[in-house]
Amino acid sequence: MVALDLIAGELTAAERAIVADYWWQRAEGEMTSWVGFGHVLADLRALGANAAVVALAERAVADEWRHAYWCRDWARAFGRTVPDDVQPRTTRPVSFPGANEHLNRLLRIALCCFTESVGCFVLREARPQIRWPALRRQNQRHLADELQHSRVGWGHLAGVAGHDKQALAAWIPRLLELLPEACVEGSESDHESLIAWGYFTPRLLARAHEQALQRVILPGLEHLGFKGSP
């Protein structure tokens, strides 16, 4: 972990406070992802998913917990006083009005697939601007984990067939409509100079979302034969 006295020479007190607060927000977000992946893991088990996909989901649950405490430690490094424990923003499973329990399970897995794919591009977009070796190493480890997490959803979608595939395909446009809300539209501001310290700006998030959509999500859906998906 980078000592605060090293960071102090690079940022003003106001900038450090912004970055520290943002790392704490990221900690809460990662803990919420831990909860979400717990729901996805339960969904996969209930649907009788492939054992390799279930194992990836089990790893993802453990990873998200670890990521939350990485972020907590960076909030502390930048000078914020935070509690030892990180709490999720919500523990309720994502649900979609009009979908039955079975379809909600499929939709949670698909949405997780899309958000984790966007997460890979967020970290990839940020890396060129990160200068501190410790932050770069964490970015690299985080991206490696995020790639495995995205494979949970893609791995399961590859095996969806028949009525389940038709039902899920009908909902995919709605999932894609929700994706910017989940991945782009947050409380971030245009602090472009702070990307180097772990801050994700609206421009970075929007660019990552668009790249994930055009390079991975839409081609992936087409490859898997989800007809009628945009």
Listed by start position, the domains of the chain span: 4-223
Q: Are 93 and 107 in contact (CB under 8 A)?
A: no
**Arithmetic mean of pLDDT over the chain:** 94
Q: Please give the structure tokens belonging to residue 43.
A: 């969904």
* CB-CB contact of 88 with 36 (8 Å): no
Note the CATH number of domain 4-223.
Answer: 1.20.1260.10
Please report the pLDDT score of residue 107 as a whole number.
98
Please classify residue 83 by burial: count the beta carbons closer than 10 Å to its beta carbon, then call 0-12 exposed, 13-18 middle and 19+ buried: exposed
Read off the pLDDT of each residue in 52-57 and give the average, rounded to a whole number.
98
Check whether 230 has a pLDDT greater than 90.
Answer: no
3-state secondary structure 18-80: HHHHHHHHHHHHHHHHHHHHHHHHHHHHHCCCCHHHHHHHHHHHHHHHHHHHHHHHHHHHCCC
pLDDT value at residue 4: 55
Mean pLDDT of 89-102: 96
The predicted model gives 73-94 an average pLDDT of 96
pLDDT at 8: 54
Is the pLDDT score of 6 beyond 80?
no
Statement: residue 5 has pLDDT above 70: no
User: For position 189, what pLDDT does the model report?
Assistant: 96
- Report the pLDDT value the prediction gives residue 73, as an integer from 0 to 100: 97
Is the pLDDT confidence value at 228 over 90?
Answer: no
- pLDDT of residue 1 exceeding 60: no
Q: What gap in Å lies between CA 160 and CA 82, rounded to an integer?
A: 43
